[in-house]
């Protein structure tokens, strides 16, 4: 207990003699409350100032001590209060019964005053130590949670900044990263309604998709400005250099894995970075993967990235409407895009249009 605050003890007995004996024995050191029946005991134990320990007689009319104990242990508010049974019974089976119900000790009547004092003090000390340990654990868990949230927030900021850095010279709007994050989440949430994907697209995996997709073009930091800023069609050589951003991004993540160790976060990021330009029919780059050879993260990112590229103005193209862009996506199902991902996209196309309007 804090400072000099006294412990509170609830004495439950239907005999006035034993109540008086225990009160006289303990009142100088503890705050004493009394209940003369099982029903009163349950009410007193649930008071706002609930007891720190209960001395509970077993043989009482209407509701005996065993039943009272069962009720107290079944109640989340009172189950941690230590209970010491008081009884004239001295049979071993009775003692085993009491302890099996959750009591911490068993004192027979007539009572030895030194034993009562000693056992009460011992069990109060144990209960107090348990409470303090529990509070320390709760405080530690809160500190760990807060620190984890801080680390997660710092990582999110770093990821977003890296993604934004890669887009600075690529003539995209500042909201491209945010929009694609939101597209990816909408598509993934709808796609997991399909039986084939519900085990893969868990809440935690979709969260990883959302967190990592701003890195999809991180490799563009290694592409020369004259190619990124080119306002006309790229020749074959320039196109090869531009396409190398998927390789460069993958190499960057692999270096991070070697230095810092791998994680699911980096694995998902690598899938997105390296495969979001692969095509369902095998005509994409860098590996020419096809169908399920392409990681699901890359297949989802491909639809989100192309859709956003269609609806924004670039130096070399004018934007097209949401309706026209969705038509392009739908027409490319089975060639550029995974048909299942396109189907999910079309089922959330209204939500997608709202994302565009608000970002």
Model confidence at 347, in pLDDT bands (50, 70, 90)?
A: very high
Average pLDDT over every residue of 193-219: 93
CATH H-level, domain 8-140: superfamily: Response regulator (3.40.50.2300)
Percent over 70 (pLDDT), the chain: 89
CATH number belonging to domain 171-358: 1.10.3210.10
- Taking alpha carbons only, the member of 168, 171, 308, 312 closest to residue 231 is 171
Model confidence at 9, in pLDDT bands (50, 70, 90)?
A: very high
Q: Which residue has the higher pLDDT, 69 or 166?
A: 69
Q: What is the pLDDT of residues 259-308, one digit of tens each?
A: 878 888 889 999 999 999 999 999 999 999 999 999 999 999 999 999 99
Quick check: 218 and 162 in contact, CB under 8 A?
yes
pLDDT at 117: 92
Average pLDDT over every residue of 74-92: 85
Has residue 256 got a pLDDT over 60? Answer: yes
Model confidence at 229, in pLDDT bands (50, 70, 90)?
A: confident
The domain ranges of the chain are 8-140, 171-358
Number of Cβ atoms within 10 Å of the Cβ of 256: 15
Has residue 56 got a pLDDT over 90? Answer: yes
Q: What is the pTM of this model?
A: 0.61
Average pLDDT over every residue of 247-263: 87
Q: What are phi and psi of 86, to 5 degrees?
A: -120, 125
Distance (Å, rounded) from C-alpha 232 to C-alpha 245?
19
Exposed/middle/buried for 342, CB within 10 Å: 0-12, 13-18, 19+?
buried
């Amino acid at each position: 207990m804090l400072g000099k605050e006294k412990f509170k003890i609830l004495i439950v007995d239907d005999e006035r003699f034993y109540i008086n004996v225990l009160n006289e024995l303990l009142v100088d050191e503890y705050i004493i409350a009394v209940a003369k029946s099982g029903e009163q005991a349950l009410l007193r134990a649930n008071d706002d100032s609930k007891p720190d320990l209960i001395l509970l007689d077993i043989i009482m009319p209407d509701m005996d001590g065993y039943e009272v104990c069962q009720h107290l242990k079944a109640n989340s508010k009172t189950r941690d209060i230590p209970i010491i049974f008081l009884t004239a019974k001295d049979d071993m089976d009775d003692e085993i019964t009491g302890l099996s119900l959750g009591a911490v000790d068993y004192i027979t009547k007539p009572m030895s005053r030194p034993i009562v004092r000693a056992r009460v003090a011992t069990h109060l000390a144990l209960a107090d130590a348990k409470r303090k340990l529990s509070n320390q654990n709760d405080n530690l868990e809160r500190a760990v949670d807060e620190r984890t949230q801080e680390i997660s927030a710092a990582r999110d900021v770093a990821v977003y900044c890296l993604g934004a850095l890669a887009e600075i010279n690529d003539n995209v709007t500042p909201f491209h990263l945010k929009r694609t994050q939101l597209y990816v989440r909408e598509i993934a949430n709808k796609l997991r309604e399909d039986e084939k994907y519900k085990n893969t697209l868990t809440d935690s995996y979709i969260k990883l998709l959302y967190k990592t997709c701003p890195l999809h073009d991180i490799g563009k930091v290694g592409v020369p400005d004259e190619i990124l800023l080119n306002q006309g069609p790229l020749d074959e050589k320039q196109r090869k250099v531009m396409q190398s951003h998927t390789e460069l991004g993958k190499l960057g993540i692999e270096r991070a894995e070697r230095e810092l160790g791998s994680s699911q976060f980096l694995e998902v990021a690598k899938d997105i970075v390296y495969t979001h330009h692969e095509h369902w029919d095998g005509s994409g780059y860098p590996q020419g993967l096809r169908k399920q050879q392409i990681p699901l993260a890359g297949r989802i990112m491909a639809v989100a990235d192309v859709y956003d590229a269609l609806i924004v103005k670039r130096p070399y193209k004018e934007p097209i409407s949401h309706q026209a862009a969705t038509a392009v996506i739908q027409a490319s199902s089975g060639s550029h895009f995974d048909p299942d991902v396109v189907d999910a996209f079309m089922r959330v196309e209204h939500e997608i249009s709202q994302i565009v309007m608000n970002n």
